[in-house]
Structure 1
Amino acid sequence: MIKQIMHDPTFLSQKAVPATKMDAGVIADLRDTLKANEANCVGMAANMIGVNKRIIVCQMGALAIPLVNPVITKKAGEFTTEEGCLSLSGERSTKRYKTIEVSYRDQNFGAHKQEFSGFIAQIIQHEVDHCEGVLI
């Protein structure tokens, strides 16, 4: 179901709690909401739809891939960039890394560790920041 985008910085600044298998509906809602906002958005965290769980969805080509309980375990190639956010107005300068390694669970709670680079890595970093309550 398409959900309303959260704009409250107090809510968005809370650190997300770990997701469980009971949160499967949140993944579907994130995918639907990301699809509805695809003209302006390439990734979404659960807190952006008012759910304080550690779940993100990232557009990777034609697929919106969920990462449940993501943790960035390695970073390399620091750079500074400008980013916008559907939950906040304007763009802000932020520090990112060209390559990251992420431990996460898929929508069936299977464990994964994967390296991402380029724009996909940047999207994941932005959404993981949301899970940490970090606003750009």
Structure 2
Amino acid sequence: MKQTIIHDQAFLAQPSTPASPLDAPVVTNLLDTLRANAGRAAGLAANMIGVHKRIIVAQVGPLALALVNPVITKQVGPYTTEESCLSIPGTRETTRYQSIAVSYLDEQFQPHTQTFTDWAAQIIQHEVDHCNGVLI
């Protein structure tokens, strides 16, 4: 179900806690909310819909990918870029990495480790920052 995007920076600055299979409905809500904001968002974190769980979704090419309890394990190729966010007005400068390796659970809570590059890597880094309470 599509959810309302949270704009309260004090709420968004709180780190999220690990998700469990009991949080599966949050994954569905995030994917629905990402689809509903397709023209405005390339990714979302659970805290953006009011849930402090480590769950993100990212539009990776034609697929919307859910990453539960994502952990970035490797970063290569730092660069500076400007980003915007559905939750916070305006754009801000930030450092991102061209390539990242991420350990995560999928929608069925099965473990994966995957390398992401370019735009997909940038989206995932932004959403993992949300999970950590880091606002750009």
Please give the TM-score of this superposition, normalised by the length of structure 1.
Answer: 0.99
Aligned position for 2:66: 66
What is the TM-score of this pair, normalised by structure 2? Answer: 0.99
Q: CA deviation at 1:95?
A: 0.4
SS in 2 for 1:38: coil
Hey, what's the Cα distance between the residues in 2 that align with 1:62 and 1:11?
A: 31
Tell me the number of residue pairs that the alignment of Structure 1 and Structure 2 aligns: 136
Instruction: Please name the residue that 2:94 is paired with.
Output: 94
Counterpart of 1:57 in structure 2 is 57
CA RMSD of aligned residues (A): 0.5
- Aligned counterpart, 1:79: 79
Task: Describe the SS at the equivalent of 1:89.
Answer: coil
> 1:106 aligns to what?
106
- Tell me the SS of whatever aligns to 1:88: coil
Shift of 1:61: 1.6
Q: Unmatched 5+ residue regions in structure 2?
A: none
Partner of 1:29, secondary structure, is helix
Q: Distance in 2 between matches of 1:91 and 1:33?
A: 21
Tell me the CA shift for residue 63 of structure 1: 1.4
Moved over 3 A (4+): none
Cα displacement (A) at 1:133: 0.2
CA–CA distance in structure 1, aligned partners of residues 67 and 80 of structure 2: 24
2:103 is the alignment partner of 1:118: no
- What stretches of structure 1 of length at least 5 have no aligned partner? none
Aligned position for 1:7: 7
